[in-house]
Amino acid sequence: MVLLFYFFKINSISLHPFPPIFIVYEYAKLLQLRINYCICSK
């Protein structure tokens, strides 16, 4: 699921040149969600 998300994200980036900060921000948001999910699971 995440791989698909990144696949489409990379495709959209190749079509529309987003700044790298956008990618880092998206990744940070995903990581934050994962960390919160892990904490909530415990």
Q: According to the model, what pLDDT value does residue 27 have?
A: 81
Tokens 């990581």 locate to 31
The answer to whether residues 26 and 9 touch, using CB atoms and an 8 Å cutoff, is: yes
Q: According to the model, what pLDDT value does residue 5 have?
A: 64
Q: According to the model, what pLDDT value does residue 30 have?
A: 82
Residues 14 and 40: their CA atoms lie apart, in Å, by 36
Q: According to the model, what pLDDT value does residue 25 have?
A: 78
Q: Which amino acid is at 5?
A: F
The answer to whether residues 26 and 10 touch, using CB atoms and an 8 Å cutoff, is: no
Q: According to the model, what pLDDT value does residue 26 have?
A: 79
What residues make up the domain containing 18? 2-41
Q: According to the model, what pLDDT value does residue 42 have?
A: 64
Give me 42's structure tokens: 């415990």
Tens-binned pLDDT, residue by residue, of the chain (42 aa): 566 666 666 665 555 555 566 777 778 888 888 777 767 776
The count of domains in the chain is: 1
Residues 41 and 3: their CA atoms lie apart, in Å, by 23
